[in-house]
Chain A
Amino acid sequence: MDLFLEMFSGVTMLTWKHIVMYLIGIVLIYLAIKKEYEPMLLLPIGFGAILVNLPYSTVWEHDGNVGFLKTFYDAGIITELFPLLIFIAVGAMIDFSQLLRAPKMMLFGAAAQFGIFSTIIAALLLGRAFPSLGIDLKVASAIGIIGAADGPTSIFVARQFAEEYLGPITVAAYSYMSLVPIIQPPVIRALTTKKERMIRMEYKARAVSKTALIAFPICITLVAGIVAPESSALIGSLMFGNLIRECGVVERLSQAAQNELANLVTLLLGITVGGTMKAESFLAPQTLLILGLGLVAFVFDTAGGVLFAKFLNLFSKTKINPMVGAAGISAFPMSSRIVHKMAIAEDPTNFILMQSVSANVAGQLGSVVAGGIILHLVPILLSR
């Protein structure tokens, strides 16, 4: 009988924390399948969260042996390989030509990073109010980077500054990215008048040659690598992917990066991140805090972009539709689509899609640069 009970000792080892984690995993899988919120990531994350919380689970570590999820974690997250491979794939998918046609839109890619830094301050204020949460500058920076609206950058920074919170930070980053259509419109409406939302923007596209498109990723890598060295891995991967897309002579590599590489790494990344969501570390007040601050980050990102556009309008003869500023976040192409839809809802003949796409693509660059600058600045500030 004892042997029989020992055979099924997993049942007796179940705790309420395990049950909660199964429910969280099921909710993530539900959101992925039913609501189609970032299904490519939330589905494997949800399944990984269930898998790692099974009693006596062998997927992470068991009897001193390393399980398959821990192997993926050591190989892909600790080495930062997965986020960088994702960036190669993302670079191969992005067409930067709209940004080259309207380069001033780059400014919105910078303004929308306001959410990162304001969230860092918010996290530090909470850390000061509740010292038991243990939020220092590094942890606050890792939380704030959710505002980059950029999963790989969030993982990259969290891995270096707050590895223990990698799970909740990644879940927050990807969940809120999928919720951009719900988060952004009310913030935009709250900060703009109907008249502002109806502002028409003339679209004067500059002609862009194939050579300029090929030179772009090389020059961006050189400039970013020299002035912000910490961003070189992130921006270098992104731009390498873009170079193989634009050069036109390695179409097979470009297709492989956009399809096979993106799919395979996304799959492995998702289930590995799910594997970090162990009940003991995930069911902590810090997780709720991270999810709450993640939402704050997206709201501030949107507000930063909109308010910056309004600020520019104070000095500019040709007015900018402030909604375009909200598209300066990295969530591509969702954010530009939302802004375009909102503009059409106000005036069916007002098309600002091209300007929004330019700002949105700039957001991709802005988030990577912001991540690199944070990685560079935080150790310097702490060492003084």
Chain B
Amino acid sequence: MSDLQLGFELMGYGLLGVFSVLFLFILMILGLTNIFHPKNK
């Protein structure tokens, strides 16, 4: 496989990976802010 083809694969999987991880972060933040909500104190 040529470097250019590998580059496109890297782009596809890379962007998918970044969005997936940051989406996980969003879920984690929503969980954290609900569990440790100021009103719960």
A84 CA to B37 CA in the complex, in Å? 32
Task: List chain B residues, Cβ under 8 A from A377.
Answer: 10, 13-14, 17
Q: In the bound complex, do residue A228 and residue B37 qualify as a contact, i.e. CB atoms below 8 Å apart?
A: no
Q: Say yes or no for A212: interface residue by CB 8 A criterion.
A: yes
Q: Mark B21-40, 1 if CB is under 8 A from A, else 0.
A: 11111101110110111111
Q: In the bound complex, do residue A212 and residue B36 qualify as a contact, i.e. CB atoms below 8 Å apart?
A: yes
Q: Say yes or no for A334: interface residue by CB 8 A criterion.
A: no
From B10, B20, B35, residue with most partner A Cβ within 10 Å: B10
Q: Say yes or no for A86: interface residue by CB 8 A criterion.
A: no
Residues of A100-143 at the interface with B, using a CB-CB cut-off of 8 Å, are: 100, 103-104, 106-107, 109-110, 113-114, 116-118, 120-121, 124-125, 127-128, 136-137, 140-141
- Tally of contacts, chain A with chain B, CB under 8 A: 124
Q: In the bound complex, do residue A107 and residue B21 qualify as a contact, i.e. CB atoms below 8 Å apart?
A: no
Q: In the bound complex, do residue A381 and residue B9 qualify as a contact, i.e. CB atoms below 8 Å apart?
A: yes
By DSSP majority rule, is chain A's interface helix, strand, loop, or mixed? helix
From B11, B13, B18, B36, residue with most partner A Cβ within 10 Å: B18
A208 CA to B34 CA in the complex, in Å? 9
Given A103-B30, A377-B13, A377-B14, A209–B36 Cβ distance below 8 Å? yes
Q: In the bound complex, do residue A374 and residue B10 qualify as a contact, i.e. CB atoms below 8 Å apart?
A: yes
Q: In the bound complex, do residue A120 and residue B11 qualify as a contact, i.e. CB atoms below 8 Å apart?
A: yes
Task: List chain A residues, Cβ under 8 A from B9.
Answer: 381
Q: In the bound complex, do residue A124 and residue B4 qualify as a contact, i.e. CB atoms below 8 Å apart?
A: yes
Task: List chain B residues, Cβ under 8 A from A106.
Answer: 22-23, 25-26, 29
Q: In the bound complex, do residue B32 and residue A219 qualify as a contact, i.e. CB atoms below 8 Å apart?
A: yes
Interface size on B (CB < 8 Å)? 35
Interface size on A (CB < 8 Å)? 49
Q: Say yes or no for A157: interface residue by CB 8 A criterion.
A: no
Q: In the bound complex, do residue A121 and residue B36 qualify as a contact, i.e. CB atoms below 8 Å apart?
A: no
Q: Say yes or no for A279: interface residue by CB 8 A criterion.
A: no
Given A124-B4, A365-B25, A110–B11 Cβ distance below 8 Å? no
How near does chain A come to B37, taking the closest CB pair, in angstroms? 6
A207 CA to B1 CA in the complex, in Å? 51
**Nearest opposing residue in chain B for A226, CB measure:** B24
Given A103-B30, A124-B4, A373–B37 Cβ distance below 8 Å? no
From A117, A365, A370, residue with most partner B Cβ within 10 Å: A117
Given A103-B30, A137-B3, A370–B18 Cβ distance below 8 Å? yes
Q: Say yes or no for A369: interface residue by CB 8 A criterion.
A: yes
Q: In the bound complex, do residue A103 and residue B26 qualify as a contact, i.e. CB atoms below 8 Å apart?
A: yes
Residues of A340-367 at the interface with B, using a CB-CB cut-off of 8 Å, are: 362, 365-366
Which single member of A99, A141, A206 contacts B10 (CB below 8 Å)? A141
Given A107-B22, A381-B6, A223–B14 Cβ distance below 8 Å? no
Q: Say yes or no for A216: interface residue by CB 8 A criterion.
A: yes
Interface residue ranges, B against A (CB under 8 Å):
1-4, 6-11, 13-15, 17-26, 28-30, 32-33, 35-41
Interface residue ranges, A against B (CB under 8 Å):
99-100, 103-104, 106-107, 109-110, 113-114, 116-118, 120-121, 124-125, 127-128, 136-137, 140-141, 206-209, 211-212, 215-216, 219-220, 223-224, 227-228, 362, 365-366, 369-370, 373-374, 377-378, 381-382, 384
Q: Which 3 A-B pairs have the closest CB atoms?
A: A117-B11, A211-B36, A212-B36
